[in-house]
């Protein structure tokens, strides 16, 4: 699995995309992804346009090919799974290189891979240009319950700590000759996970006590939510609106 | 592996998105009675724990490895509704920051892994605990079996979503067999790991385990 370095998800930059208020970017990303999902599979030009927009944005923000490619690794298991569609789907068969493949299965594979990849690219551009605290502020501005964003904040803050404990525990077990081969050998791993849960829980209590001693009374000080001006909303939402226009055109031209 | 974009059509994804938001809202009202100020950092650390546990692979058979989903684990450790909130937060972070699971599929994933996996799984756990002795062994065995059942049940959730709005031309029978077949196996691993983790916690700090009779915190429901 990919490492858990949350700070590696954001790519520092000075582009206008980095500087936009987070709530507009988050809303635009969700609307854009839904437009991608709603596009008819036959409209190759539409998917081409989406890819052009996303790659353009990624390039403009200076995300870099290596950064984007590394982040796309999460898709690999899914790509492998969807390669099976042409073999197991029903309907008319076509012969490709002497192999019988389902025609609709090939369409399905294309449809799912194109949409999943474009959705993934959207997330990468969003996370790559939005710093974590800003993303949480953006979610606040979009009226996500504060308890949720507060829990998200604590989770992200302590993720590297908890993952580090898992890694250290592993190294300690390995250096004592632990070499798990099958599920029955997983008990030491699970026991260490249990120990890490107890530690995480106690750390949670400690964090609370430390915060209480600094005057925490149940609510984080309201981070000032900067309302996005209407012009910025319009400018940013123009991107998903354009995508929805493509969707309408694609359905109309079918 | 979470559902990506494009597998389930937009209308169904949006519908489940609304359902998931409503579910999280209801869970927050449920937990609001006891998910007090004290519990916010705690829930965050439990979410970090679940996320980390999902990232660490354990061996299945030589060369192959799996990882925990953690729905029942979270529910037994911190309670069904808080567990649901924790799993939903994990999925939100995975979707928004890690691009793991599609943004449009967030609702689908939250319903399957959070609602069915944690809340449904906890209901199974409670039903089992009623039949088994209420000691450490009973807690461990119930948690393991409930986790083992919850995984194929969550896969069934996906199959239902696929039946409503699947975009792939594969027969329901094939999807059902493939999903259940693989997830029964995954469930066995999940059950064993969950039981081991619960065993480790319940032996050292039974007072921290929400679902254990020795729990010392405030419960939102009565353990019968």
Give the CATH number of the domain where residue B181 resides: 1.10.1760.20
Q: How far, in Å, are A85, A111, A134, B162, B177 from residue A106 at the CA level?
A: 7, 9, 41, 18, 21
Q: State the nearest Cα–Cα gap between B63 and chain A, in angstroms.
A: 7
pLDDT band at residue B223 under the 50/70/90 scheme: very low
Q: Is the pLDDT of residue B115 over 60?
A: yes
Looking at the fold, whether A111 and A50 belong to one and the same domain comes out as yes
Interchain contact A93–B (C-beta under 8 A): no
Interchain CB contacts (distance < 8 Å): A and B = 279
Looking at the fold, whether A236 and A209 belong to one and the same domain comes out as no
Of B38, B56, B197, the CB nearest to A197: B197
Largest CA distance in chain A: 73
Looking at the fold, whether A56 and A120 belong to one and the same domain comes out as yes
- Chain A positions touching B48 (Cβ under 8 A) are 154-156, 158-159, 161-162, 200
- The candidate with the shortest Cα–Cα distance to B150, out of B104, B195, B107, B118, is B118
Residue A1: what pLDDT? 38
B1 within domain boundaries: no
- The candidate with the shortest Cα–Cα distance to A189, out of B147, B65, B209, is B65
H helices of chain A, where? Answer: 16-19, 22-38, 44-60, 65-71, 76-82, 85-88, 103-129, 132-141, 146-175, 187-213, 230-252
Low-confidence ranges of chain A (pLDDT < 70): 1-7, 217-224
Looking at the fold, whether A10 and A133 belong to one and the same domain comes out as yes
B131 within domain boundaries: yes
Looking at the fold, whether A44 and A168 belong to one and the same domain comes out as no
Residue A203: what pLDDT? 85
CB contact under 8 A, B41 and A208: yes
Find the mean pLDDT for residues B136-147. Answer: 93
Query: Distance between CA atoms of A161 and A163, rounded to whole angstroms?
Result: 6
Looking at the fold, whether A99 and A160 belong to one and the same domain comes out as no
Looking at the fold, whether A87 and A171 belong to one and the same domain comes out as no
Looking at the fold, whether A70 and A135 belong to one and the same domain comes out as yes
Interchain contact B116–A (C-beta under 8 A): no
- Chain B positions touching A34 (Cβ under 8 A) are 10, 13-14, 104
Model confidence pLDDT, tens digit, residues B50-87: 998 888 766 666 555 667 888 999 999 888 988 999 99
Q: What is the DSSP letter of B115?
A: I
B118 within domain boundaries: yes
Q: How far, in Å, are A176, B82, B105 from residue B141 at the CA level?
A: 29, 22, 33
Owning domain of residue A149: 144-213
- The candidate with the shortest Cα–Cα distance to B202, out of B133, B141, B123, B140, is B140
Query: Distance between CA atoms of A112 and A87, rounded to whole angstroms?
Result: 15
Strands B58-59 and A99-102: unpaired
Q: What is the ipTM score, two decimals? A: 0.87
Tell me which chain A residue has its CA closest to the CA of residue B206. Answer: A198
Number of domains in chain B: 1
Do residues B90 and B52 lie in contact, with contact meaning Cβ atoms separated by under 8 Å?
no
A129 within domain boundaries: yes
Name which residue leads in pLDDT, A116 or B101: A116
Mutate to test the interface with A, among B31, B35, B52, B66 (most CBs of A within 10 A): B52
- The candidate with the shortest Cα–Cα distance to B7, out of A37, A104, A76, A35, is A37
Looking at the fold, whether A21 and A128 belong to one and the same domain comes out as yes
Hey, is B118 helix, strand or coil? helix
CA dihedral B156, B158, B164, B170 (to 10 degrees): -90
Q: Is the pLDDT of residue B148 over 90?
A: yes
Looking at the fold, whether A187 and A233 belong to one and the same domain comes out as no
Helix (H) / strand (E) element for B196: namely: helix B172-204
Looking at the fold, whether A205 and A112 belong to one and the same domain comes out as no
B213 within domain boundaries: no
B123 within domain boundaries: yes
Of A107, A151, A219, the CB nearest to B89: A151
Helix (H) / strand (E) element for B211: namely: none
Number of domains in chain A: 2
Do residues A205 and A119 lie in contact, with contact meaning Cβ atoms separated by under 8 Å?
no
B216 within domain boundaries: no
A1 within domain boundaries: no
**Token pair of B32 as six digits:** 């609001």
A220 within domain boundaries: no
A57 within domain boundaries: yes
CB contact under 8 A, A33 and B51: no
CB contact under 8 A, A155 and B47: yes
> Which residues contact residue A230 at a Cβ distance below 8 angstroms, ignoring those fewer than 6 apart?
none
Owning domain of residue B153: 10-208
Model confidence pLDDT, tens digit, residues A138-150: 998 998 888 888 8
B217 within domain boundaries: no
pLDDT band at residue B211 under the 50/70/90 scheme: confident
Residue A3: what pLDDT? 44
Q: Is the pLDDT of residue B137 over 80?
A: yes
Of B35, B68, B198, the CB nearest to A147: B35
Proportion of chain B above pLDDT 90, given as a percent: 39
Do residues B220 and B36 lie in contact, with contact meaning Cβ atoms separated by under 8 Å?
no
Q: Is the pLDDT of residue B34 over 60?
A: no
pLDDT band at residue B156 under the 50/70/90 scheme: very high
Name which residue leads in pLDDT, B139 or B63: B139
Q: What is the DSSP letter of B110?
A: I
CB contact under 8 A, A205 and B46: no
Looking at the fold, whether A161 and A131 belong to one and the same domain comes out as no
B224 within domain boundaries: no
A15 within domain boundaries: yes
Query: Distance between CA atoms of B99 and A125, rounded to whole angstroms?
Result: 10
- The candidate with the shortest Cα–Cα distance to B82, out of B224, B222, B209, is B209
Q: Which residues pair with B59 in a beta bridge?
A: B65
Name which residue leads in pLDDT, B100 or A155: A155
Residues belonging to chain A:
254
**Token pair of B164 as six digits:** 């409503």
């Amino acid at each position: 699995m990919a490492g858990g370095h949350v700070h590696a998800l954001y790519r520092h930059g000075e582009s206008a995309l980095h500087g936009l208020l987070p709530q507009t970017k988050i809303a635009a990303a969700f609307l854009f992804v839904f437009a991608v999902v709603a596009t008819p599979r036959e409209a190759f030009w539409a998917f081409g346009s989406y890819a052009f927009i996303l790659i353009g944005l990624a390039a403009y923000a200076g995300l870099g090919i290596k950064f984007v490619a590394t982040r796309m690794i999460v898709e690999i298991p899914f790509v492998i799974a969807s390669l099976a569609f042409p073999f197991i789907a029903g309907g008319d068969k076509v012969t490709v290189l002497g192999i019988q493949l389902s025609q609709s299965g090939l369409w399905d594979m294309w449809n799912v891979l194109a949409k999943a990849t474009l959705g993934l690219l959207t997330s990468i551009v969003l996370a790559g240009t939005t710093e974590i605290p800003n993303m949480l502020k953006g979610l606040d501005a979009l009226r996500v319950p504060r308890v949720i964003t507060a829990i998200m904040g604590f989770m992200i803050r302590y993720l590297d700590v908890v993952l580090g404990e898992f890694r250290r525990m592993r190294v300690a077990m390995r250096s004592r000759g632990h070499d798990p081969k099958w599920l029955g050998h997983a008990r030491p791993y699970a026991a260490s996970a249990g120990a890490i849960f107890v530690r995480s829980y106690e750390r949670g209590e400690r964090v609370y006590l430390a915060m209480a001693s600094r005057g925490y009374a149940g609510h984080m000080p309201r981070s000032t939510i900067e309302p996005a001006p209407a012009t910025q909303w319009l400018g940013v939402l123009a991107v998903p609106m354009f995508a929805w226009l493509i969707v309408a055109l694609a359905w109309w031209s079918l | 592996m979470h559902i990506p974009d494009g597998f389930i059509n937009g209308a169904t994804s949006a519908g489940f998105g609304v359902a998931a938001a409503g579910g999280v809202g209801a869970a927050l009202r449920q937990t609001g009675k006891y998910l007090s100020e004290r519990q916010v950092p705690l829930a965050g650390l439990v979410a970090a724990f679940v996320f980390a546990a999902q990232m660490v692979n354990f061996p299945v058979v030589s060369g192959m490895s799996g990882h925990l989903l953690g729905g029942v684990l979270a529910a037994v450790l911190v309670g069904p509704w808080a567990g649901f909130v924790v799993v939903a937060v994990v999925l939100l972070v995975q979707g928004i920051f890690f691009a793991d699971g599609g943004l449009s599929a967030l609702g689908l994933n939250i319903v399957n892994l959070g609602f069915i996996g944690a809340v449904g799984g906890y209901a199974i756990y409670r039903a089992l605990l009623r039949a088994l002795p209420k000691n450490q062994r009973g807690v461990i065995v119930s948690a393991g079996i409930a986790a083992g059942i919850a995984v194929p049940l969550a896969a069934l959730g996906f199959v239902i979503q696929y039946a409503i709005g699947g975009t792939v031309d594969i027969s329901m029978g094939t999807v059902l067999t493939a999903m259940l077949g693989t997830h029964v196996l995954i469930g066995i691993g999940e059950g064993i790991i969950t039981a081991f983790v619960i065993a480790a916690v319940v032996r050292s700090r039974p007072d921290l385990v929400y679902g254990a009779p020795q729990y010392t915190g405030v419960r939102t429901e009565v353990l019968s």
